[in-house]
Amino acid sequence: MRVGILGAGGIAAVMAETILVRKDIEVPAQISGYEYEVLACKEALEQGRIECPEMPHSETITIMKQMDEIRKQFGIVFPFEKG
Q: Per-residue pLDDT for the chain (83 aa), expressed as one digit of tens each?
A: 444 444 444 444 445 566 677 788 787 777 777 888 888 999 999 999 999 998 999 999 999 999 999 999 999 999 988 87
Does the global pTM surpass 0.85? no
Is 23 contained in some domain?
Answer: no
As a whole number of angstroms, the distance between CA 43 and CA 24 comes to: 16
Is 46 contained in some domain?
Answer: yes
Residues written for the chain: 83
Is 3 contained in some domain?
Answer: no
CB count in 10 Å sphere of residue 49: 12
For residue 51, give its domain range: 39-73
Number of domains in the chain: 1
Is 19 contained in some domain?
Answer: no
Is 47 contained in some domain?
Answer: yes
Strand extents, DSSP E, 1-51:
2-7, 10-15, 18-22
